[in-house]
Chain A
Amino acid sequence: MLKTFRTSDRTLMVLFTIFVLAAPLIMAPLGAGYPDLMQRFAIYGIFAIGFNILFGLTGYLSFGHAAFLGVGSYSAVWMLKLLSINIVPAIIFAVVVSGLFALLIGFISLRRSGIYFSILTLAFAQMSYNLAYSVLTPITNGETGLQLDLTDPRILDTVNETSQVASPSFLGLEMGDTAVVQFLGMDLQFNVGFYISALILIGMFYLSLRIFRSPFGMILRAVKSNQTRLNYTGFNSRPYTLTAFVISGMYAGLAGALLVCMDPLAGADRMQWTASGEVVLMTIMGGAGTLIGPVLGAGIIKYFENIFSRINESVVEGWFSALPDGVTDFLTAVVSPFLGSGWHISLGLIFMLVVIFLPGGLVEGASRIMNLVRRLSQTRKTTSSPSVARPLGDDESPEEPPPGSVNTRES
Chain B
Amino acid sequence: MSDYYLNRRKFLQGSAVLGAGLVAPTIFSRAASAYTNEPGKGSVVLGFNVPQSGPYADEGADELRAYKLAVKHLNGEGDGGMLGTFSSQTLKGTGILGRKVEYVTGDTQTKSDAARASARAMIEKDGAIMITGGSSSGVAVAVQSLCQDAGVIFMAGLTHSNDTTGKDKKANGFRHFFNAYMSAAALAPVLSQHYGNDRKAYHLTADYTWGWTMEESMIASTEALGWETVNTVRTPLSATDFSSYIAPVTNSGADVLVLNHYGSNMVNSLTNAVQFGLREKMVNGKQFEIVVPLYSRLMARGAGKNVKGIFGSTNWHWSLQDDASKAFVASYGKEYGQPPSQAAHTCYVQTLLYADAAERAGSFNPCAIGEALEGFEFDGLGNGKTLYRAADHQCFKDVLVVRGKENPTSEFDLLEVVNITPVEQVIYEPNHPMFAGGSLGKCNPGV
Contacts and interface: CB of A to CB of B under 8 A. Distances in A.
Interface of A: 2, 5-6, 31, 34-37, 40, 130, 133-134, 142-145, 147, 150-151, 163-165, 167, 170-171, 173, 176-180, 189-192, 195-196, 199, 210, 213-215, 218, 263-265, 267, 269-270, 306, 309-310, 312, 340-341
B112 A144 contact: yes
Contact of A35 (B106, B124, B149, B441): B124
A269 B111 contact: yes
Given A2-B1, A195-B25, A214-B4, A143 B207 contact: yes
B176 interface: no
A180 B31 contact: yes
A37 B121 contact: yes
Contacts of A173: 25-26, 28
B191 to A, nearest CB: 28
Given A134-B234, A144-B112, A192 B31 contact: no
A143 B136 CA distance: 10
B145 interface: yes
A36 B24 contact: no
Interface in B415-447: 439, 441-442, 444
Given A36-B120, A143-B207, A196 B112 contact: no
Task: Rank and list the top 5 A-B pairs by shortest CB-CB distance, nearest first.
Answer: A143-B208, A163-B442, A36-B120, A34-B125, A267-B112
A40 B163 CA distance: 29
A130 B104 CA distance: 34
Nearest to A36: B120
B2 interface: yes
Interface string B120-142: 11001100000000000110011
Contact of B31 (A31, A179, A310): A179
Contacts of B2: 213-215
B207 A134 contact: yes
Interface string B144-170: 011011100000000000010000100
Given A150-B439, A341-B52, A213 B112 contact: no
Contacts of A270: 113
B112 A178 contact: no
A190 B124 CA distance: 12
A170 B26 CA distance: 11
B179 to A, nearest CB: 15
A180 B30 CA distance: 9
Contacts of A167: 149
B207 A306 contact: no
A51 B105 CA distance: 33
Contacts of A144: 112, 137-138, 141-142, 163, 168, 208-209
A269 B25 contact: no
Nearest to B115: A267
30 contacts: A31-B125, A34-B124, A34-B125, A37-B121, A40-B117, A134-B236, A142-B207, A142-B209, A144-B141, A144-B163, A144-B209, A145-B112, A150-B439, A151-B439, A163-B442, A165-B441, A171-B22, A179-B27, A180-B31, A213-B1, A213-B3, A214-B4, A215-B4, A265-B116, A269-B114, A306-B117, A309-B106, A312-B105, A341-B52, A341-B53
Contacts of A170: 25
A327 to B, nearest CB: 25
Contacts of B138: 142-145
A178 B4 contact: no
B113 A165 contact: no
Given A133-B207, A177-B30, A190-B28, A310 B113 contact: no
Residue among A31, A145, A306 with most chain B CB within 10 A: A145
Residue among A34, A134, A170 with most chain B CB within 10 A: A34
Contacts of A215: 1-2, 4
Given A134-B207, A144-B138, A195-B24, 15 more contacts: A2-B3, A130-B236, A143-B209, A144-B112, A150-B439, A164-B442, A165-B148, A171-B22, A179-B27, A179-B28, A179-B29, A180-B31, A189-B124, A190-B28, A312-B105
B204 interface: no
A145 B113 contact: yes
Given A36-B124, A147-B142, A180-B31, A133 B116 contact: no
B112 A310 contact: no
A40 B3 CA distance: 33
Nearest to B209: A144
Nearest to A134: B207
Contacts of B299: none
A150 B167 CA distance: 11
B61 to A, nearest CB: 10
B130 to A, nearest CB: 17
Nearest to A6: B3
A310 B1 contact: no
B255 interface: no
Contacts of B237: 143
Contact of A267 (B113, B145, B444): B113
A310 B48 CA distance: 11
Given A164-B442, A192-B25, A269 B113 contact: yes
A49 B4 CA distance: 20
Contacts of A180: 31
A199 B23 CA distance: 12
Contact of A263 (B31, B146, B208, B444): B146
B398 interface: no
Nearest to B237: A143
A213 B4 contact: yes
A150 B441 contact: yes
A310 B442 contact: no
B427 to A, nearest CB: 26
Nearest to A263: B116
B209 A177 contact: no
A218 B107 CA distance: 44
Contacts of B121: 34, 36-37, 306, 310
Nearest to B3: A6
Interface in B31-55: 31, 52-53
B228 to A, nearest CB: 25
B285 interface: no
A392 B415 CA distance: 66
A372 to B, nearest CB: 29
Given A37-B121, A142-B209, A269-B114, A164 B234 contact: no
A267 B209 CA distance: 13
B21 interface: yes
Interface string B332-373: 000000000000000000000000000000000000000000
A177 B28 contact: yes
Interface string B229-269: 00000101100000000000000000000000000000000
Given A142-B207, A176-B150, A218-B1, A196 B25 contact: yes
A34 B148 CA distance: 19
Interface in B160-201: 163, 168
Nearest to B31: A180
Nearest to B105: A312
Contacts of B104: 310
B142 A267 contact: yes
A34 B22 CA distance: 22
Contacts of B107: 309-310, 341
B172 to A, nearest CB: 10
